[in-house]
Amino acid sequence: MTQALDCAISTRDRYHDEDKYFTIPKPICPYGPDDESLSVDFEPTYSAVGFPSLPDESSNIFDENLNKHLMSRTPGSLPVHIIGIYGGLLADPKLVNYAVLIRVSDNQTATPTVQPAWREESASSTSEVLTRQEIELSVISAIQRLKHWGLDDEAENSLLQDLKAIVKRWGNRAARVLGDIISNGIENPSVAREVLRAVGEIRDARTNRKRLLLLERALESKSLYVRDGALLGLASMCSVKSLPALRAAMNKEKGKIFREDIAQVIKLIQQENP
Amino acid sequence: MTYYLRRVKNKAAWDFEVFREFVERHDVPTDALGHLDTDHNCLSVWEIGTNQEDLIRVVEALATEREYLKPLEYILFSPDIPTRLGIEVRMTPVDRLLVKSVTGWHRDLVIPAGTKLLEFAATIFPDQKPARILEQDILKIIAQGIREDRIPRSFVSKLKDSDDRKKLERLLDSASGDLFPTSP
């Protein structure tokens, strides 16, 4: 019998811990929480999906543990083999729990049949959601690294490189996630300022419009730091398309100092785009 | 007439119009205070004239000390303030700079006590002018400095980000030698 199944696994603490907990959400896999054999301690917030990879050492560990678990719960069941990992063993922001969505088969020679999620223009809603989670985790991790390392040139450049890589990989989806994370409010306004500056520094024509819009929106923030970061981002993008938003912000701005900063950027954009 | 220029991390922290309550209390936002880090109890500043040329020279010096191209933010304040507060000002030439012409413009404000630093910060806060040179202008200023041999061309390879190196190379290769910074 050859059958490929999608299933989700969440682990506690570390991959190589003895005790693995996993379950398979019903919409994804025929095994569901109702199935005694696999209904264990699943925390849906940690499920993540990204791209299939060939089984590696970590997947072998899963493979082994999954089979141990299956055998213990359902004696006599056929061994299954992981044939693709979706999500690259992503960690949640606290780096405690891990989750992967895997594709398993009872045929050792089976190969992954699902294309990488980011290549699918019309990805299924499940993989879309899970891809979004992976992008979110990548962005949050990049931002947290900046927070922990402190705001120096090296750390800021590292953030820029991380965001460049994320946007390059996921395009507008990443820009959308970035926009949401920023509009939901990054806890530390100084960090938000650097994130916005980096958003403007990324050179990626596909996402220009989205990034411009998110920076323009941030220009309306109540926080001066956030507005300033948005202004720096728009200065980096140097697009005439942002001039109306910049003029509107200038008219609205009460403080003379920041108004002058906006005027400086408007002048720059006009000079650079004669 | 001269000014003292102090590089800061984020000029928005120095916006005394937005943080007006600090002015009223003769205080300073902690973020702004954090930009006044001292080394051996000395606060590093640059003394410049009111002309743009002096500013550009110091910007060349500060920008070429870094390994990334990014906006340069600073505050300007009157040299009278440290004098008024009894802060010792030392002329301390900096030898490590790529731009040698400004070596003698460096000053150390000797501030051994934390309370004095706080008093100094609260005094300059309402009287300083925060400003910024945008990255594009930094790029032009550096390119001009290289063309006019104030900055060695080898600076390009000091930049860690390949995008930064490309931008500067492109500007150096372009025919235009004009410098029209939008910044003050």
Q: By three-state DSSP, how is residue A123 classified?
A: coil
Give yes or no for a contact between A142 and A166, defined as CB atoms under 8 angstroms apart: yes
Distance from CA of B136 to the nearest CA of A (A): 8
Does pLDDT of A217 surpass 80?
yes
Chain A's closest residue to B130, CA to CA, is: A257
Does pLDDT of B51 surpass 80?
yes
Give yes or no for a contact between B104 and B46, defined as CB atoms under 8 angstroms apart: no
Distance from CA of A228 to the nearest CA of B (A): 7
Cα–Cα distance, A261 to A266 (Å, whole number):
9
**Any A CB within 8 A of B180 CB:** yes
Average pLDDT over residues B74-96: 93
pLDDT given for residue A92 in this prediction? 36
Please give the mean pLDDT across all residues of chain B. 90
- B-chain CB neighbours of A232 within 8 Å are 71
Give yes or no for a contact between B2 and B50, defined as CB atoms under 8 angstroms apart: yes
Closest CA relative to residue B107, chosen from B1, B13, B2, B28: B2
pLDDT given for residue A4 in this prediction? 40
pLDDT band at A126 (very low <50, low <70, confident <90, very high): low
pLDDT given for residue A142 in this prediction? 79
**Any B CB within 8 A of A203 CB:** yes
Please give the mean pLDDT across all residues of chain A. 65
Percent of chain A with pLDDT over 90: 20
Cα–Cα distance, A163 to A68 (Å, whole number):
40
pLDDT given for residue A156 in this prediction? 82
pLDDT digits (tens, 9 = 90+) for B59-75: 999 999 988 889 999 99
CA angle (B33 as vertex; B25, A253 as ends), nearest 5 = 70
Give yes or no for a contact between B13 and A257, defined as CB atoms under 8 angstroms apart: no
Q: Given phi > 0 = left and psi -120 to 50 = alpha, else beta, which region is A76?
A: left
CB-based contact A271 B182, cutoff 8 Å: yes
Distance from CA of A260 to the nearest CA of B (A): 9
Does pLDDT of A49 surpass 70?
no
Give yes or no for a contact between B68 and B164, defined as CB atoms under 8 angstroms apart: yes
pLDDT given for residue A91 in this prediction? 35
Q: Which of A129-138, A223-232, B68-77, B102-111 has the lowest mean pLDDT?
A: A129-138
B71 → closest Cβ in A232, A258, A271: A232
**Any A CB within 8 A of B135 CB:** yes
Residue A233, strand partner residues: none
Average pLDDT over residues B79-97: 92
Does pLDDT of B102 surpass 80?
yes
CB-based contact A258 B183, cutoff 8 Å: no
Highest mean pLDDT among A111-125, A191-205, B67-81: B67-81
pLDDT: which is higher, A180 or A94: A180
And the tokens for B183? 């910044």
Q: By three-state DSSP, how is residue A217 classified?
A: helix
Sheet holding B129-133, edge to edge: B88-91, B106-110, B42-49, B2-8, B72-77, B129-133
Distance from CA of B83 to the nearest CA of A (A): 27
Percent of chain A with pLDDT over 70: 51
Cα–Cα distance, B41 to A134 (Å, whole number):
46
Percent of chain B with pLDDT over 90: 71
**Any A CB within 8 A of B9 CB:** yes
- B-chain CB neighbours of A203 within 8 Å are 163
**Any A CB within 8 A of B136 CB:** yes
CB-based contact A235 B12, cutoff 8 Å: no
Give me the residue label for tokens 């916005």. A196
Q: What is the pTM of this model?
A: 0.70
Q: Which of B72-76, B83-87, B130-134, B170-174 has the lowest mean pLDDT?
A: B170-174
Does pLDDT of A13 surpass 80?
no
A268 → closest Cβ in B67, B136, B163: B136
Give yes or no for a contact between A49 and A84, defined as CB atoms under 8 angstroms apart: no
pLDDT band at A163 (very low <50, low <70, confident <90, very high): confident
pLDDT band at A81 (very low <50, low <70, confident <90, very high): low
CB-based contact B10 A225, cutoff 8 Å: yes
Does pLDDT of A90 surpass 50?
no
Cα–Cα distance, A220 to B169 (Å, whole number):
36
Distance from CA of A110 to the nearest CA of B (A): 43
Give yes or no for a contact between A213 and A252, defined as CB atoms under 8 angstroms apart: no
pLDDT given for residue A145 in this prediction? 75
And the tokens for A111? 């190969």
Query: What residues have CB less than 8 Å from B139, skipping those under 6 apart?
Result: B69, B167, B168, B171
Cα–Cα distance, B105 to B91 (Å, whole number):
8
- A-chain CB neighbours of B16 within 8 Å are 257
pLDDT: which is higher, A230 or A139: A230
The bridge status of strand B2-8 relative to strand B88-91 is unpaired
Q: At what angle do helices A189-201 and A125-149 cross, to 10 degrees?
A: 120
Phi, psi dihedral angles at B157 (to 5 degrees): -75, -15
**Any A CB within 8 A of B78 CB:** no
Does pLDDT of A174 surpass 90?
no
Average pLDDT over residues B17-31: 91
And the tokens for A259? 């108004």
Q: How many helices (H) and strands (E) does chain A have?
A: 9, 3
- A-chain CB neighbours of B160 within 8 Å are 157
User: b/e for B65-100, b at 16 or more Cβ within 10 A?
Assistant: eeebbbbbbbbbbbbebbeeeebebeeeebeebbbe
pLDDT digits (tens, 9 = 90+) for B137-160: 999 999 999 999 999 999 999 898
Cα–Cα distance, B154 to B147 (Å, whole number):
12
Highest mean pLDDT among A22-36, A72-86, A178-192: A178-192
**Any B CB within 8 A of A111 CB:** no
**Any B CB within 8 A of A252 CB:** no
Predicted ipTM of the assembly: 0.90
Does pLDDT of B81 surpass 90?
yes
